[in-house]
Amino acid sequence: MPPTSPILSHTRKYLLILSFIVVLSGAGWGALYAYGTGQKLPAHFQVAGWKAGGLTHTQFLRQLDEQLKVYNSLKVHLASPSSEIRSKDLTLAELGLVIDREELDEAIQKMFHASVINRIAARWSLRNAQLPLRMSIDPDKLNAAVRQRWKELYDRQPVAARRVVNPDDSIRYEPERTVPRLDTITLQKELESGIPPVTGLFSGLGPLKLAIPIYIEQPSVTVDSLKKQGVERKIAEFATSFPLSGTGRIHNIRSTATSIQDMLLAPGETFDYSKIIERTEAQFGYQEAPVILNGKLVPGIGGGICQVSSTLYNAVLRSGLEIIERRNHSLPVSYVPLGQDATFASGYINFKFRNNTGAYLLIRAVTTDRDVTVKLFGRSPSTDTYDIESKIIEKIQPTIKYLHNPALRSGSTKPITQGKEGYIVETYRYKKVNGIVVSKELVSKDRYAAVPTLVASNLGDIKPDEGNQGENNSQILEDGVKGPSFR
């Protein structure tokens, strides 16, 4: 018979009472009162299969408490199938047993503690009731108990696999380390299904015996996940030297190179050098070293950052990657050929390229006191190689810039510095397959400004700066983050 709810609407309740009065009208109101105030449970009253009918209210509560104590203290032997996990004995209460007796308590309240008329109605409606006594395992309490009792196990954490680049640029993998864990979701289900019914409790309950369900927790990075990224071999390398650089410039180069060391670009992802500069400045800070301002070397902060971008640019060119944004310096630099440098000016000039290889791209950057080397690792056919050729297609002769000096004898001039030629350069990338050129790409056409010859003069008919009207006087700072810094 399905359980009868003790919660009745007022209409139904009073209809039941009226029917009961009609049935017992011959017995008188005294019998009706005695029925409603009885201290025993209805004869066929059951709780979760426990035939409790006929027990007094006091007997029922005492036996119920005794049964629930037995359930809470019932031992569960959790047997481990693994030598890494210890078997343990815990009680159901320790494992998070929850007994839901709300419906039962509500029914008892109506039968023994309500008004007489409500007690009569409740006893009549519950005369054949089979009320539930639901038992479950609280998942939060179970998880807490497992972590506490197997603390030594949960103190061990999975270790991620590592990709290691060997000194010879080959790639190997250090495997991940997994750890076993208790499968508390399965354990909860097995505990709940293994809880014995209330019926027959007092004939004695032996301990429950369950095999500990186990799963293996893996780190987020495994050898398989690393191999799927497609970083298979070194595909390009380029190095530049800085033997005469000061300590500030070396610091700036080394710090910026550290920021791109082991950087991983996903397929289709764009590398943005401005973000590297921001990260480096925040993490390491830049030191004083010469920068380029308006085509001149001046004291500043961050000098040398473009040696890293230029070295990376050359590795990128030789790997066939797609160049998104790149500009040459306004002046030639000594560490790479003309047409093969990549400058940076915050807010104006950036260096960007896209990983168009179809696999992940790993950037490695190593510096010494004399040079910086960038290596790119990824997936590219071993038959494909790239050659870079830069050609000077025009030389720009330096102009003469006169600086008025009244200390000189009237009508005389005096050389200060010799000017330098400027250049217009075209740079091509040749793709080869098995050593045979299959394509030629014009990568860039760059202009390097000529450096004017400086002459001090005291000539009345020559204005200062004459011959220099065509110079670009835009105040753009290159190869640094701040300047000038005069002392």
Query: Does the residue 224 lie in any domain?
Result: no
Quickly list H helices, 167-317.
Answer: 184-194, 223-228, 247-260, 273-283, 305-317
Query: Does the residue 486 lie in any domain?
Result: no
Look at the chain and report how many structural domains it folds into: 2
Query: Does the residue 440 lie in any domain?
Result: yes
> 192 and 329 in one domain?
no
pLDDT of residue 67: 87
pLDDT in tens, 280-316: 999 999 988 888 877 777 888 888 899 999 999 999 9
Please enumerate, as own/partner, the contacts of 6-11 that have beta carbons within 8 Å and a separation of 24 or more: 6/103, 6/106, 6/107, 6/110, 6/122, 6/125, 6/126, 6/129, 6/131, 7/106, 8/121, 8/125
> 193 and 245 in one domain?
no
pLDDT of residue 5: 47
> 279 and 142 in one domain?
no
Residue 108, judged by CB atoms within 10 A of its CB (0-12, 13-18, 19+), counts as buried
Residue 475, judged by CB atoms within 10 A of its CB (0-12, 13-18, 19+), counts as exposed
- DSSP-assigned letters across all residues of 322-377: EEEE----SS--SSS-TT-----BTTTB--EEE--SSS-EEEEEEE-SSEEEEEEE
Domain that holds residue 393: 233-478
Distance CA 267, CA 265 (A): 7
Residue 445's contacts (CB-CB under 8 Å, 6 or more residues apart) are 424, 425, 426, 427
pLDDT of residue 182: 96
pLDDT of residue 473: 46
> 370 and 241 in one domain?
yes
> 332 and 360 in one domain?
yes
> 80 and 206 in one domain?
yes
> 291 and 181 in one domain?
no
> 375 and 311 in one domain?
yes
> 408 and 442 in one domain?
yes
8 Å CB contact between 46 and 129: yes
**Over 2-65, what HEC string results?**
CCCCCCCCHHHHHHHHHHHHHHCCCCCHHHHHHHHCCCECCCCCEECCEECCCCEHHHHHHHHH
8 Å CB contact between 250 and 369: yes
Query: Does the residue 162 lie in any domain?
Result: yes
Query: Does the residue 226 lie in any domain?
Result: no
Query: Does the residue 439 lie in any domain?
Result: yes
Query: Does the residue 31 lie in any domain?
Result: yes
> 432 and 331 in one domain?
yes
**Which of 216, 251, 279 is where one domain is finished?**
216
pLDDT of residue 144: 97
Query: Does the residue 211 lie in any domain?
Result: yes
Distinct helix (H) and strand (E) counts, the chain: 12, 28
> 290 and 212 in one domain?
no
pLDDT of residue 347: 86
**Which of 187, 216, 245 is where one domain is finished?**
216
pLDDT by residue, tens only, the chain of 487 residues = 444 444 445 445 555 555 555 555 544 567 788 888 889 999 999 998 889 899 999 999 999 998 888 889 999 999 999 888 999 999 999 999 999 999 999 999 999 998 888 998 888 999 999 998 889 999 999 999 999 999 999 999 999 999 999 999 999 999 999 999 999 999 999 999 988 877 644 455 678 999 999 999 999 999 999 999 999 999 999 999 987 778 899 999 999 999 999 999 999 999 999 999 999 999 999 988 888 877 777 888 888 899 999 999 999 999 999 999 999 998 899 999 999 999 998 888 999 999 999 999 999 999 988 899 999 999 999 999 999 999 999 999 999 888 888 887 887 788 888 888 999 999 999 999 999 999 999 999 999 999 888 888 887 655 544 444 444 445 678 777 777 654 4
**Two tokens, residue 145:** 């108990």
Closest Cα partner for 343 from 274, 287, 403, 411?
A: 274
| Tokens 């503690």, residue located | 113
> 162 and 62 in one domain?
yes
pLDDT of residue 462: 54
Give the CA distances from residue 180 to residues 84, 174, 214, 302, in Å, rounded to whole numbers and listed in that order: 8, 20, 7, 50
